[in-house]
A and B are shown apart, each in its own frame.
Chain A
Amino acid sequence: MLKLLLTGAALFIFIAGAFAQTENLAARSQHARELMAQRRFAEAIPIYQDLVAAVPGNPGLVLDLGLAEEMAGQPQKAIPHFQAVLKADPESIPALSSLAMAELQTNRPNAAVAPLEKLVRLQPDNQNARGMLAGGYMSLNQPLKAAGQYRKLTVLDASDPKAWYGLGKAYGALARKSFARLSKGAPQSPYVAVLLADSRLQRKQYHSAFFFYQQAQKQLPDLPGLHTGLAKVYEKTGHPDWAQAERKLELATPCRTRTAECRFRSGDLIGAAKAGKAPSASPAQLFWATRAYNQLARDAFDRLGQMPDSVQTHELKAEILHGQGKDEEAAGEWRAALAIAPHDPSLETGLASSLVLAHDYEKAMPILKDLLAREGSEPNLNFMLGESLWRMQQPSKALPYLTAALKEDPKLLAAHAALGMVYVLLGRNAEAIPHLRKALSLDDDGSIHYALARACRVAGKTEEAKQAMQEYSQIKQRNQKINSKVAKEAEITAPK
C-alpha cells in the first residue's frame, strides 16, 4: 500500500513536475521568441540551447536555435543545426533558406548552391532564393547557370533592377570567358582585333579602336561589324562622310546562312552564343559567341538604364565609368547609390575604392576609417587606407594598416608593394626589401624594381641592386615599344 502510495506520490510529483516543466519551457520559449523579435539574438541562443536539450529531437527548436545563431552573427554554429533539421525534414523551406544563407555568410557559395537549387525547385516563384542562387553561381564562376536564373528572375519581375543588373553581369562574364578562349586559341586573329577594337570603342578610345579595326581589316576585310565599328569611330572623330562610306560597306557584307554569324545578325543572340559552347568551337564561333554575349549584356544594362534610379543603376554606371578610367565620376555614382541606401558598407567600399583609384586619398580616408570602425578589420580596407596614407606622405601612419592587411591576407601583393615603399620612405631599407621582392610580379612600370634596386644598394646588397636595376631597364624598354605602338595608333585616316 505504502509502495502504491509512494508510487502514486512519485507519479503525482512527476506529473506535477512535468507539467510545471512544460509550463516553464513554454514560458522560456515565449521569452526567446520575444528576444528574437527585439533583435536580441545572442541572448536568445542560451535559451534555445536549453530548450533543445530539454526537448531533444524537436526540429522546430533546433531551427530556432540555428536562426538565433545565424542572426547573432554566428553562421558557422548555425549550419549543423539547419542540417539536422533538413535531415528530419528534407524539404523544410526555412531550413533550406537559412542553411544557404549561413553558407553564403561563411563564404562557402559552393555549399549554398545545393539547398538553394532545392528551394528554387520547391518554390519556383521565390525570387529571393533564385537571386541568391544566381549570385552563388556567379561566385562559383558559373555565369551560364547564373544567367539562366537571372533570366527567370526578369520574367518573374521585369521591374527588378537587381535581376537586370545580375543578368548583364552574367552575360558580361560569359563574353569574357569566350573571349579568353578565343585569345588563347587564335591570338593573332582578326576576331581578337575586332573585339579589342569594340571594347576600346565602348571606352571612347577612338584612336586605339581604329588601330585594332585596321589590324582586323588587313586579314578579314569583310568581317561583319568591322565596318560598323569603323563608322562609329569616324562619327565620333568628326568624319561623317567616311562613316557613311563604311556603313554602306557593312550593308554589302553577305551573311552566311545557318552560321553563328547569321544567327547573330538575325537577332538570335542566344543561338549565336550557344555555338561557342562546344569545346571544339572554331575562332569564328567563339567570336560570334563573344559578340552575342556582349550584346546580351548591353541589352540587359540598357534595360536597367531605362529604369528609375536605383542602387543597381548607379552601381552599373560606376563600373562602366571605372572601365573608362573615370574613377572620379564613378565616385559620383557611388555617392548617388549611397543617397538611396545610406551607410551600405558595400557601396561605401565602392566609393572609397573609386576615390583611391582617382587618387583622391583625402576624401577616401575618412570613409575607410569609418568602415573599419564599423565593419571590423578587413584586408582590403586596411590596404586602401594604408595606401592612401602613404600616398599622402604619411608613411608612419600607413604602417599599421598595411601590416594589418598583410596579417589578414599575406597574399595581398599590392599591400606588399605599398609596405615596401613605406619602409623605403622611412629609411628602413632592409625591411623594405622582402616586401618589394614579393610585389615584383605587379610591376608594370618598373617602379618596384627601381625601389628595390635603391633599397638593396643602401642595404649593401650590390648584386641584387644591379639585377633589379637591369630588370627595371628591361621593363622600361618594353613599355617604350608599347608606347611607340600607341603613338602609331593615333592617326585616324580615310577608309581604304
Chain B
Amino acid sequence: MASRMILLAALVAMAQNGGAHASGSVPIRFQDVIAQSGIRFILDNCATPEKHMIETMAGGVAVFDYNGDGRPDIFFTNGAALPSLKKTGPQYWNRLYENEGHMKFRDVTKEAGVEGAGYSMGVAVGDYDNDGKPDLFVAGVNRNILYHNLGNGKFEDVTAKAGIKSGEWAVAAGWFDYNNDGLLDLWVVHYAKWAIGDTNDKRYCGDQSHGIRIYCHPKYFQGLASTLYRNMGNGTFKDVSKQAGIAGFPGRGMSVDFADYDGDGYMDAFVTNDHMRNFLFRNKANGTFEEVGLPAGVALREDGKAVSSMGTDFRDYNNDGLPDIAVTALAGETFPLFRNVGKGNFTDATFSSGMAALSLQHSGWGVGFFDFNNDGWKDLFTADSHVNDRVELSSPYHYKEPDRVFANLGNGKFRDVSAAAGLNEVKAHRGSAYADFDGDGKIDVVVSSLGAPAELWHNANPDGNHWLEIRLIGTHCNRDGIGARINIGKQWNEMTSAVSYASSSLGPVHFGLGKVAIVETLKIYWPDGRKQTLHNVKADQVLTVKEQK
C-alpha cells in the first residue's frame, strides 16, 4: 500500500511537471543523415591567406516551412568570392532545400530565386506581412536582402522597396513584435566597421616573422549598433533605432534573441557581443528600450570578464517559468548560463549548473535549448569550433571540434552526453537550426561548417517519451504567434524563430512530455495579452491553435 502511495505521488509530481523527470532515462542519440538526404551544401567562406575577418564568421542556417506543406525546409547562407564580395558562382549561392519527407530534401534554390548576393552571414525567418507564408531576411556584409515569400514556391527580393538598408557588416537578425501591433519588426545585428582593404582588414595579426597569420582580435574592430526596423504594415519598414534608444549602444554583435524576461507583456532583446559586454534591451512598452545588461547580470560572467559571446538562446531551462539565457563562447571562457531569478535579475549559473567545467575546453557558435529526449527538460545543443584556425599553434585548444549536447538533468545541472549521442564529426561548425524534420516528435538539428558538408543530425532516440508540438496561428497578433508563451505543467516555452548563432528556426513550439499521454491543461499567453486554455490534449501530435477572437 505504502509503495503504491509513493508511486502515485511520483506520478502526480511528474504530471504537474508536464511529464518531466530528471533522470534523462531516455538517452540522446543522433545520426548524421546528410549523405542520404540529398543536401549537398558546403559552406564556402572563401578562406584566404589574408584572413579577412568575415571568413570565419559565416554560416547562418534557417529552418521553416516555406511551402506550407507542414514539413520544415532548410535554408543555408553562404559566402562569396573575396575581395569582390560577389557570389561569382553557384558554390557561393545561398541554398534552399525543400523537405520531401523521410529526411529527403531537394535543392530548390534557383526556382525559389534565393541564390542571393554578396557575402551572406545570418538569416531570420518571419511572416512580416501575416499572409501565412514565412518570409526571409538574409543579413550580410554590406548587403542585406529581404525576400517576400510569394506562396508559389518563389521569393521576391523586396529589400529596396521595403526600405531595408545595407552598407554595414550585418551578422544576424531576428523578427519580433516589439510594440505589440500585430506586425513583426526586424532587429539587425551588426558586428563592426569593416571593409576590404581598410586598416583593420589589412592588419597583420599573428607572428609575421614566422608567417603565421591569424584572424585579428575583436578589440581592433570598432563595433556598431544594431538597427531596429519598425514594420509599417504596408510592406515597408522604418529605421527606428534612434527613437527606440538602441542606436547609442555600439557592440560587436553576433546574435539576437527575444523573450519577455520581466513578464511585462513586451518582448525584450538580448544581443551577444564579441569580447565585450552583452546587451539586454528591456522593452519599456512605449516603443523604446533601456539597456540593462549590467544591472540585470547578463552583460558579463560573474567574475566580471567579458567573453567572446557568439550564439544565444533565451528560454526557460529549469521549468520555473522565467526565460534564461545560454551563450556560447570560446575555449577557456566557458559557455555562460544566466538563470533568470525574477524581478529583472539573473544569476550566473555557469558554474553551479556544471556548464563551466563542461564547456571550458570548448568553443561554440550555434546553440539551442530543446528537449531532445522528450523527458520534459530542455537540453542544450552547441555547434562547436574555435574562431582561429591556427589556435593549436599557441594554445591547448582545438579549431575543429565535434558538436556537443548537454543533457538537462532536471536538477539545475547538465551532463555532457555528446560522445554517447554520436556527435563525432570534427569540423569548423558555425550555425545551427532545430526542427522535427521527419515528424517523429523528436527534435533534429542541422548544422553548417566552414568548408565542409553540413550535418543533418537525425534524432535517433529510442521512442518512449511522449511529446506535443503546438503550431500557433495569430489573428490579433502576428500570424505565427511569435512572442507567445506556452505552458504545460511546470514547463514553459516561447514561440520565437530567433535562436542560435546567425540562425533561425521557425517551427511549432515543442514540448517533451515524458510518460504523460494526455495534457490536462495547456495555456497559451498570446503576445497581445490574451490567454487561451486547452484541456485534455492528446500527446504525440502537432496541434494547430488559432488565436481566439
Complexed CA–CA distance, A204 and B211 (Å):
13
Complex contacts, B302 vs chain A, CB 8 Å = 424-425, 451, 454
Q: Does B396 contact A (CB under 8 A)?
A: yes
Instruction: List residues of B (321-361) whose CB comes within 8 Å of A's CBs.
Output: 332, 334, 351-352, 356-357, 360
Closest to B300 in A: A450
One of B145-153, B196-204, B407-415 contacting the partner? B196-204
A360 to chain B, nearest CB (A): 5
A360 touching B395 by the CB < 8 A rule? yes
A359 touching B352 by the CB < 8 A rule? no
Complex contacts, A447 vs chain B, CB 8 Å = 300, 303-305
A486 is contacted by which of B209, B219, B297, B334 (Cβ under 8 Å)?
Answer: B219
Given A328-B394, A393-B334, A472-B220 contact (CB < 8 Å) = no
B220 touching A424 by the CB < 8 A rule? no
B297 touching A395 by the CB < 8 A rule? no
A425 to chain B, nearest CB (A): 5
Instruction: List residues of B (275-290) whose CB comes within 8 Å of A's CBs.
Output: 277
Q: Does A236 contact B (CB under 8 A)?
A: yes
Instruction: List residues of A (335-363) whose CB comes within 8 Å of B's CBs.
Output: 358-360, 362-363
B303 touching A424 by the CB < 8 A rule? yes
A204 is contacted by which of B208, B220, B295 (Cβ under 8 Å)?
Answer: B208
A491 touching B199 by the CB < 8 A rule? yes
Instruction: List residues of A (447-490) whose CB comes within 8 Å of B's CBs.
Output: 447-451, 454, 469, 472-473, 476, 483-484, 486-487, 490
Complexed CA–CA distance, A260 and B157 (Å):
72
Closest to B345 in A: A457
A207 touching B203 by the CB < 8 A rule? yes
Complexed CA–CA distance, A472 and B303 (Å):
12
> A414-452 vs B: 1/0 string, CB under 8 Å?
000000010011010000000000000000011111110
Given A394-B357, A447-B305, A359-B351 contact (CB < 8 Å) = no
B395 is contacted by which of A206, A359, A486 (Cβ under 8 Å)?
Answer: A359
Q: Does A237 contact B (CB under 8 A)?
A: yes
- The tally of residues in A whose CB lies under 8 Å from a CB in B reads 39
A237 touching B356 by the CB < 8 A rule? no
Q: Does B88 contact A (CB under 8 A)?
A: no
Given A393-B356, A421-B303, A486-B220 contact (CB < 8 Å) = yes
B352 is contacted by which of A326, A328, A427, A487 (Cβ under 8 Å)?
Answer: A427
B332 touching A359 by the CB < 8 A rule? yes
B303 touching A490 by the CB < 8 A rule? no
Q: Does B222 contact A (CB under 8 A)?
A: yes
A454 touching B297 by the CB < 8 A rule? yes
Complex contacts, B209 vs chain A, CB 8 Å = 204
Given A236-B208, A362-B396, A487-B222 contact (CB < 8 Å) = yes
Complexed CA–CA distance, A465 and B208 (Å):
45
Q: Does A55 contact B (CB under 8 A)?
A: no
Q: Does B294 contact A (CB under 8 A)?
A: yes
> B219-233 vs A: 1/0 string, CB under 8 Å?
110100000000000
Complexed CA–CA distance, A328 and B332 (Å):
15
Complex contacts, A359 vs chain B, CB 8 Å = 332, 395
B204 is contacted by which of A237, A449, A450, A454 (Cβ under 8 Å)?
Answer: A237
A393 touching B300 by the CB < 8 A rule? no
Q: Does A392 contact B (CB under 8 A)?
A: yes
Sort A-B residue pairs by CB-CB distance and give the 9 closest, nearest first.
A447-B304, A450-B304, A393-B356, A393-B357, A451-B304, A491-B199, A490-B199, A425-B351, A421-B303
Please, could you name 8 A-B residue pairs with CB atoms under 8 Å apart, sorted by A? A204-B207, A393-B334, A445-B305, A447-B304, A450-B304, A483-B219, A486-B219, A490-B203
Given A362-B396, A451-B303, A469-B294; 9 other pairs, CB 8 A cutoff: A392-B357, A392-B360, A445-B305, A446-B304, A454-B297, A454-B304, A469-B295, A487-B220, A487-B222
Residues on A close to B: CB < 8 A? 204, 206-207, 236-237, 326, 328-329, 358-360, 362-363, 392-395, 421, 424-425, 427, 445-451, 454, 469, 472-473, 476, 483-484, 486-487, 490-491
